[in-house]
Amino acid sequence: MIYGSIIFLILAAVIAAGNIGGCTAAMLSKRKGSDKGYSCIPLFSLLFSVGSWLLGRNTIGWWAFVPAILDPGTWVLIALPGALIELFRNGKNANTEPTSGGDVANRVAPQK
């Protein structure tokens, strides 16, 4: 069981390292003027960490969750509900005018 736990732990660490590297590269390229981003893999490092913990609970213990804690993809999962609530709140108050083209008759006038 310890070997399976170590394999899951290594998989979680590889995904976390890839997400950290991808986010770092995206931030550096934005500083250079690029508009490219990076999409994290949000769930796999957490699943692999849970698998590692389940297989090696007595040996590895809570150390199995270190890659998941360091992974920006896990932070996305934690921040997603708050971001969606904030988007929903601000989306109700946003002006719904079309930016280019569109039907002028369906335009909503801003309220004062």
- Biggest alpha carbon distance in the chain? 68
> Quick check: is 61 in a domain?
yes
In tens digits, the chain (112 residues) has pLDDT values of 899 999 999 999 999 999 999 999 999 999 998 888 888 888 899 999 999 999 999 999 999 999 999 999 999 888 888 888 988 888 765 555 555 555 555 556 666 6
pTM over 0.75: no
For tokens 């981003």, the residue is 37
Looking at the 3D structure of the chain, how many domains does it have? 1
> Quick check: is 101 in a domain?
no
> Quick check: is 106 in a domain?
no
List the domain range (segments joined by +) for residue 39: 2-91
> Quick check: is 45 in a domain?
yes
> Quick check: is 20 in a domain?
yes
| Burial status of residue 40 (CB atoms within 10 A of its CB: 0-12, 13-18, 19 or more) | buried
Helix 44-55 vs helix 2-31: angle between axes, to the nearest 10 degrees? 160
> Quick check: is 110 in a domain?
no
